[in-house]
């Protein structure tokens, strides 16, 4: 079977899974996830075949606009979405989680629909089918947030998510349908190329409509507001699929329609994309490190990682604008590595959060502690996810961020002052974001995984003996490590997907040797994830040996907490306390609200201290903008009285006004 035929078979299996999840009262949840695992496995086989052979296959009826087309670009994104779906399915087949509502069938059905919609978007050979998939993703997100979980804030989060995704859909309709009309067909590559038929001003409008549409799905600033509400409100298992899988359809759209844009790309368009990505990376991780809970931290971290990936894609757009093909290929290669690293690590983090929530009843930093020892599988794999998201070697996140910073350093090759300044500032911003990420995830590791328990639930967690859950976590963690160690092999495997977009042999230029990666331009710099990993391991082993061999004088331990009094769990750092120095420094970006009693110690009782941030472009701003439209709608609604005579008077008044303002109408 061809890759396209395999994907169609997988979609049919997914549809069967949805029907069974909805129709079977007792076993619907299990069958839903089982069929998603089977369908995603089939799609992985199809993706591997297309990526290895560099083939393009299609199947469907052009006249009905139902066409599945698999080329290397579609295969990469189908593979990422399906790999995460397979891992999430295996984890959730290990048993129903505490965050799922009722029997869990609603969550299973929403998950399968989400996977189906994501694969349709990435595999669509027709833009109308792509737009159908886009709306289906929006509805599946709403379904997963509003009906699958037990979070009390789910209704508002679901509504906010649905509104923003429909705004994105409107932007895509406004750009893709005129382009399809100009192309004379609905094939995505031809639709993207049709931008050359328009004036620069009109093609620029289409470019930014597409950026708004696809950027809203990945949380591009200022369209990120739904992520910190939607992800925490959904059950963590489904949030893993949202953040690690469906999240990536926005990047697919940017690669397919913006990097593949048919009209000449003006340099300032590309620089705007780079600047927005850098701003998102900085603000996203600044907001993340101040969060009091694991799930919002993970959600805001997705804003940061989206910004990093958009920086890489913006560099590819700079290469398009200046006709530097190797720079295009470098940007695409870096983006693909970063997309994969984020998908695996973020899915792993949410799955670990799901297990911790089941075991302790909370994911709040103020109630956790000591989970690395009490929940060793979830704790150890959560540590791997945190290290990767903090860009520590030798994991996938390190390879991605190192390549992004190195790519920013290639600005001097363009001999363009605007590019040099923008990429230099963006690279510095990415570096600062990487430093803040270490603070954010050291907080996660130090407060949630290490230390002493801060609640009874953390002290005596419910042990999870599910082999399926443990297998899913360990395999995902192993994939995170393997990506960092074998990045050159991974890039070479994606050669057709990278070079097909760039039009030059960029994959080979990045993966210069079996163990080395470099920023495409030979002789600039290189790094080895495997080499760094072995170096760190050998240093750790050497230190352990020295500690064991060097004799130490007899010592006596005494508790040192709170001026020498006995150690208590409350004397540890809290999540808020650990992040406070960074939050104070970043106050201008965070807009921190602190609530402290006027006389906190007057009564002799413990004082409560609350700290919360107000992210820019968040729900309050969206509410104010929405309030304006609601006011206008209320005024319009008053005109709808249902009285025919009043409607006729409207028509008469409009006709008189038209005749007064446009006298030429009288000649009609």
Residue 50, exposed/middle/buried by CB under 10 A (0-12, 13-18, 19+)?
buried
Helices and strands in the chain, H and E counts:
28, 4
Residue (of 264, 346, 268) closest to 303 by Cα position: 346
Residues 537 and 637 in one domain: no
If you compute the radius of gyration of the chain from its CA atoms, what whole number of angstroms results? 26
DSSP 3-state of 534: helix
One domain, residues 528 and 650: no
Sequence-separated (6 or more) residues with CB below 8 Å from residue 628: none
Of 547, 577, 606, the position where a domain reaches its end is 547
Q: What is the distance between the alpha carbons of residues 104 and 346, in angstroms, rounded to a whole number?
A: 22
pLDDT value at position 558?
56
pLDDT number for residue 413: 86
Helix axes 495-502, 325-360, angle to 10 degrees: 130
Instruction: Examine residue 534 and state whether it is found in any structural domain, yes or no.
Output: yes
Which pLDDT value is given to residue 662? 65
Bridge partners of residue 594, in order along the sequence: 611
Structural contact between residues 30 and 89, judged by C-beta atoms closer than 8 angstroms: no
Q: Which helix (H) or strand (E) holds 59?
A: strand 57-61
Q: Is residue 493 part of a domain?
A: yes
Is the residue at 598 inside a domain? no
CA distances from 204 to 209, 350, 502, 509 (A): 9, 38, 21, 32
Ranges of H-type helices in 494-550: 495-502, 506-510, 529-549
Q: Tell me whether residue 426 is in a domain.
A: yes
CA dist., res. 163 & res. 318, Å (int): 32
Domain that holds residue 298: 265-547
Q: What distance in Å separates the CA atoms of residue 117 and residue 617, rounded to the nearest whole number?
A: 28
Give how many domains the chain has, as a whole number.
2
Q: Which strand (E) or helix (H) includes residue 250?
A: helix 249-253
In a domain, 133, yes or no: no
Q: Are 280 and 220 in contact (CB under 8 A)?
A: yes
449 with 309, same domain: the answer is: yes
Query: Does any domain span residue 403?
Result: yes
- Round to whole Å and give the CA distance between 350 and 378: 11
The span from the CA of 65 to the CA of 93, in Å, is 35
518 with 632, same domain: the answer is no
Task: Name the residue with tokens 């990120």.
Answer: 224
Residues of the chain with pLDDT under 70: 553-568, 588-589, 591-612, 614, 616-623, 625-626, 629, 641-642, 661-668
Question: Distance between CA 119 and CA 40 in Å, rounded?
Answer: 9
How many whole angstroms separate alpha carbon 302 and alpha carbon 296? 10
Distance, in Å, from the CA atom of 1 to the CA atom of 61, rounded to the nearest integer, reads 18
Q: 407 and 508 share a domain? A: yes
The answer on 423 and 330 residing in a single domain is yes
DSSP of 261-299 = -SSPPPHHHHHHHHHHHHHHHHHHHHHHHT-SBHHHHHH
Residue with token string 């009874």: 456
Per the listing, tokens 């008077």 go with 649
Give the list of residues 6+ apart from residue 51 with CB closer than 8 angstroms, or none. Answer: 72, 75, 76, 79, 493, 494, 496, 497
Q: Are residues 516 and 644 in the same domain?
A: no
End-to-end CA distance of the chain: 64
Domain ends where: 513, 547, 581?
Answer: 547
d(CA 311, CA 408): 9
Q: What is the pLDDT of residues 560-595, one digit of tens each?
A: 555 555 566 777 777 777 777 777 777 766 766 666
In a domain, 409, yes or no: yes
pLDDT reported for residue 575: 75
| Cβ burial, residue 156 (10 Å; 0-12/13-18/19+) | middle
Could you give the residue ranges of the DSSP H alpha helices within 449-528? Answer: 456-459, 467-485, 487-493, 495-502, 506-510
Cα separation of 29 and 23, whole Å?
10
Q: What is the DSSP letter of 462?
A: P
Instruction: Fill in the DSSP letter of residue 666.
Output: G
Backbone angles phi, psi at 364, to 5 degrees: -75, 135
User: Hey, what are 576's tokens?
Assistant: 């808020």
Domain edge (last residue) among 529, 547, 565:
547
Same domain flag for 381 and 464: yes
Do residues 498 and 336 lie in contact, with contact meaning Cβ atoms separated by under 8 Å? yes
- Residue pointed to by tokens 């300032």: 268
Residues 541 and 643 in one domain: no
Tell me, yes or no, whether 417 lies in a domain: yes
Residues 542 and 623 in one domain: no
Do 429 and 536 reside in the same domain of the chain?
yes
- Write the DSSP assignment of 408-460 as a string of letters: HGGGGGGT-HHHHHHHHHHHHHHHHHHHHHHHHHHHIIIIIISS--SSHHHHS
Tokens 């820019």 correspond to: 616
Q: Are residues 455 and 307 part of one domain?
A: yes
């Amino acid at each position: 079977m061809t890759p396209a035929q395999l994907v169609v078979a997988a979609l049919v299996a997914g549809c069967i899974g949805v029907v069974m999840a909805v129709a079977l009262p007792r076993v619907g949840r299990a069958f839903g996830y089982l069929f998603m695992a089977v369908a995603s496995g089939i799609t992985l086989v199809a993706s591997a075949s297309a990526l290895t052979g560099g083939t393009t296959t299609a199947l469907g009826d052009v006249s009905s606009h139902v066409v599945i087309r698999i080329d290397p670009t579609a295969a990469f994104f189908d593979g990422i979405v399906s790999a995460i779906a397979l891992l999430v399915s295996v984890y959730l087949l290990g048993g129903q989680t505490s965050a799922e509502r009722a029997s869990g069938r609603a969550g299973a059905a929403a998950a399968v629909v989400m996977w189906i919609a994501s694969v349709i978007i990435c595999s669509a050979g027709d833009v109308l089918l792509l737009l159908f998939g886009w709306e289906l993703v929006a509805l599946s997100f709403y379904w997963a947030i509003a009906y699958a979980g037990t979070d009390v804030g789910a209704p508002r989060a679901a509504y906010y998510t649905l509104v923003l995704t429909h705004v994105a859909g409107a932007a895509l309709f406004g750009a893709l349908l005129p382009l399809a009309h100009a192309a004379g067909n609905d094939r995505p590559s031809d639709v993207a190329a049709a931008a050359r038929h328009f004036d620069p001003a009109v093609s620029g409008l289409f470019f930014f409509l597409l950026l708004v549409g696809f950027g809203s799905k990945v949380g591009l600033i200022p369209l990120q507001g739904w992520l910190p509400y939607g992800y925490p409100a959904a059950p963590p298992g489904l949030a893993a699929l949202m953040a690690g899988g469906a999240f990536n359809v926005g990047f697919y759209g940017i690669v397919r329609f913006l990097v593949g844009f048919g009209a000449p790309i003006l340099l300032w368009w590309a620089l705007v994309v780079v600047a927005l990505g850098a701003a998102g990376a900085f603000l996203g991780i600044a907001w993340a490190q101040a969060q009091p809970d694991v799930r919002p931290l993970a959600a805001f971290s997705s804003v940061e990682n989206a910004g990093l990936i958009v920086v890489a894609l913006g560099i590819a757009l700079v290469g398009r604008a200046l006709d530097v093909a190797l720079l295009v290929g470098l940007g695409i290669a870096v983006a693909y590595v970063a997309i994969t690293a984020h998908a695996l690590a973020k899915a792993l983090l949410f799955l670990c959060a799901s297990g911790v929530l089941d075991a302790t009843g909370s994911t709040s930093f103020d109630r956790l502690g000591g989970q690395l020892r009490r929940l060793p599988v979830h704790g150890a794999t959560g540590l791997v996810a945190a290290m990767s998201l903090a860009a520590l070697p030798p994991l996938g996140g390190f390879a991605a961020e190192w390549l992004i910073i190195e790519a920013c350093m290639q600005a001097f090759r363009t001999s363009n002052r605007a590019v040099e300044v923008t990429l230099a500032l963006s690279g510095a911003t990415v570096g600062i974001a990487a430093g803040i990420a270490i603070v954010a995830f050291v907080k996660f590791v130090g407060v949630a995984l290490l230390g002493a328990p801060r609640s009874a639930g953390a002290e005596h967690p419910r042990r999870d003996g599910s082999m399926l859950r443990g297998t899913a976590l360990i395999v995902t963690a192993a994939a995170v490590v393997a990506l960092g160690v074998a990045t050159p092999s991974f890039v070479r495997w994606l050669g057709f997907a990278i070079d097909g977009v760039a039009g030059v042999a960029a994959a080979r230029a990045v993966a210069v040797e079996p163990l080395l990666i470099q920023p495409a331009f030979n002789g600039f710099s290189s790094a080895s994830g495997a080499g760094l990993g072995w170096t760190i391991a050998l240093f750790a082993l050497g230190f352990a040996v020295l500690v064991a061999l060097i004799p130490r004088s007899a010592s006596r331990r005494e508790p040192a907490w709170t001026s020498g009094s006995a150690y208590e769990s409350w004397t540890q750092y809290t999540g808020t306390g650990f992040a406070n120095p960074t939050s104070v420094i970043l106050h201008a970006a965070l807009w921190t609200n602190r609530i402290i009693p006027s006389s906190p110690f007057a009564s002799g009782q413990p004082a409560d201290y609350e700290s919360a941030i107000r992210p820019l472009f968040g729900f309050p701003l969206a509410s104010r903008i929405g309030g304006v439209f609601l006011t206008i709608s209320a005024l319009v609604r008053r005109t709808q009285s249902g009285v025919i005579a009043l409607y006729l008077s409207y028509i008469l008044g409009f006709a008189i006004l038209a005749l007064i303002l446009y006298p030429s109408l009288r000649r009609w």
